[in-house]
Amino acid sequence: MVKRSDRKVFLMNSTKMHEKGNKQPFPWRLFWAELIGTALLLLIGLSLVILMFGSGSPMTRLIPSETVRRVITGFLFGSTGALIALQVLRSFMY
């Protein structure tokens, strides 16, 4: 777990990363975690939207109400984002 004081130090030092003699390494792991998390969210989220609302999709026959499909899609999209943020990429950051 990152302590609040560590975040403050990181934010203060991140503005000085371009200066010579800075001993703190660039936080590549954090950037890779963000990149992978965003890619997964887009891949899974857009696949859900295409599955629910794409022309010729079987979901339009299984769930004819567009409102219900929107609610299900929103719930699954949000749940996917929460799972990615809380679990999947934790090992990259720490």
Question: Looking at the whole model, is its pTM more than 0.75?
Answer: no
In this prediction, residue 48 carries a pLDDT of 95
In this prediction, residue 34 carries a pLDDT of 85
Grouped pLDDT means (10 residues each) for the chain, 94 residues: 54 55 79 87 94 92 94 95 77 60
Domain ranges in the chain are: 27-93
Helix or strand (DSSP H, E) at 54 = none
Helix (H, G, I), strand (E, B) or coil at 1: coil
Long-range contacts of 67-74 (CB under 8 A, 24+ apart): 73/48, 73/49
Quote the CA–CA distance of 82 and 53 in Å, as a whole number.
22
In this prediction, residue 52 carries a pLDDT of 94
Quote the CA–CA distance of 53 and 63 in Å, as a whole number.
10
